Amino acid sequence: MPEEKRGHPGSKVPASHRDLIECPPVAALTTVGLDGYPQTSVVWCDFDGEHVRINTMRGFAKERNMRRDPRVTLLCYDPGQPIRYLEVRGTVDEMTEKGATEHLDALASKYAGRKIRYFGEVIPVRFAQTETPILCLVRPKDVVALESTGSRCGP
């Protein structure tokens, strides 16, 4: 039987689910598009104890959407335990180029398990000339953590 832990406005990410927001295997960010429909993108993220930190590129749909409407939802889960997840609804407090490239390199290194650079080792270095990383700081407003105590699906 799944156990749901629903947060309250301004709630914190529970320690039991902190691993799901620190470079989770799967993270999907949903923003509100210009037409009012949700727009969801797979993202890399981490958590600094106060903000969920997400990196995107200037001009991407999610970047434009967050500048226009700062309300977002982030869903993080482990594919090995798909009914153990963390949903963070929040508001983008800040979007900045300052420190964004360093943060992107740090995320790439966490995901790779070794020190690497995003431009040149994850994507071709030529994109560093045309893409501008944007660091987005999301303040959690409502947090839902689900933990399953049941069996896994499949064989």
The predicted pLDDT at position 94 comes to 98
The pLDDT score that the predictor gives to residue 154 is: 44
In this structure, the number of other CB atoms found within 10 A of the CB of residue 107 comes to 20
- Model confidence pLDDT, tens digit, residues 58-75: 999 999 999 999 999 999
Query: pLDDT per residue over 127-149, tens digit each?
Result: 999 999 999 999 999 999 988 76
pTM for the whole thing?
A: 0.85
Please work out, in degrees rounded to the nearest 5, the angle formed at the alpha carbon of residue 43 by the alpha carbons of 42 and 47.
Answer: 140
